[in-house]
Chains A and B, each alone.
Chain A
Amino acid sequence: MAVLGMRSFDPLESLFELQRNLDRFLQKPRGIDLGPSGPGVYPPINVFTDGNGIVIRAEVPGVPPNELGVSVQRGSLTISGERRPEAKTGGSYHRRERAFGKFSRTVQLPDELNFEAAQATCRNGILTVRLPTREETKPKQIKIQAS
């Protein structure tokens, strides 16, 4: 499936504008084919275009960048890792809302992307994977740089 050209939109004026924009694309892919990818798998992802290709973002708080697994293979991106709680003994919890455990999610992406040139960074618990558009065939492990 071809990746459609970007729609340009106004520069971000406020958080409100950004939130409204993100809402517009909630669960509705426009101009991109993500194959069988669907909700219900951790982590939730946001997919953007930036003029060069595709940018995928995921919130993975509490996972050190060097423990995140990000791999690409022609056609798909896999994000995996584990969230572990801080080791505390001798006391007790008043509240427990954060979830812990392993995760692994695969997202199907358009063939036009140059998977070989994929780059991943992770900062403040947010993973950003950039894939420029171009043809690609080989699977590749990506080194994550914590910035």
Chain B
Amino acid sequence: MAEELAPKAKREVEEPEQTRPGRTYVPDVDIYEDEHGLWFWADMPGVSQDQVDIELRNNLLTIRGQVLLEDYKGLSPVFTEYNIGNYECRFRLRDTFVFDHDKIKARMVNGVLELEVPKAEQAKPRRIAVTSS
């Protein structure tokens, strides 16, 4: 049974502490974890690879994406169903999460940010054997 997509309204960032005027949106994000690390996927259509800013400091991950105004030069709207804007979101990783800073990988593919945060070697989980008594 094929699942069908339905449109979703964009959510705006709630904090008023923005340095630039204009709405900023919170992207839809998927977060996945396995024994190797954490994966983030954020929908940020209109953002190219060099317009993404990722900061990971003190276990606080901040993702920012900027859209280009040039894409709208010479265009006059006659009908709209969605607005556009920059993206921003933050995640606090748990304190015990030890990651390998040098191995973090980020790339934008078709408007989706793929972020891989590998765990540091010594932080990888140990399997605990389950025995019956």
Contacts and interface: CB of A to CB of B under 8 A. Distances in A.
B89 to A, nearest CB: 10
A41 interface: yes
B47 A22 contact: no
Most A C-beta atoms less than 10 A away, residue of B3, B30, B75, B84: B75
A29 B28 contact: no
Nearest to A102: B2
Interface residues of B, number: 51
A124 B33 contact: no
Interface residues of A, number: 69
B41 to A, nearest CB: 7
Contact of A16 (B21, B109, B110): B21
Given A44-B82, A101-B5, 16 more contacts: A12-B69, A12-B72, A12-B73, A15-B85, A19-B83, A32-B78, A48-B78, A60-B110, A60-B111, A61-B44, A61-B45, A88-B32, A88-B39, A124-B108, A125-B110, A126-B46
Interface of A: 6-9, 11-12, 14-16, 18-19, 21-32, 34, 39-51, 54-55, 59-65, 83, 85-86, 88, 90-103, 122-126
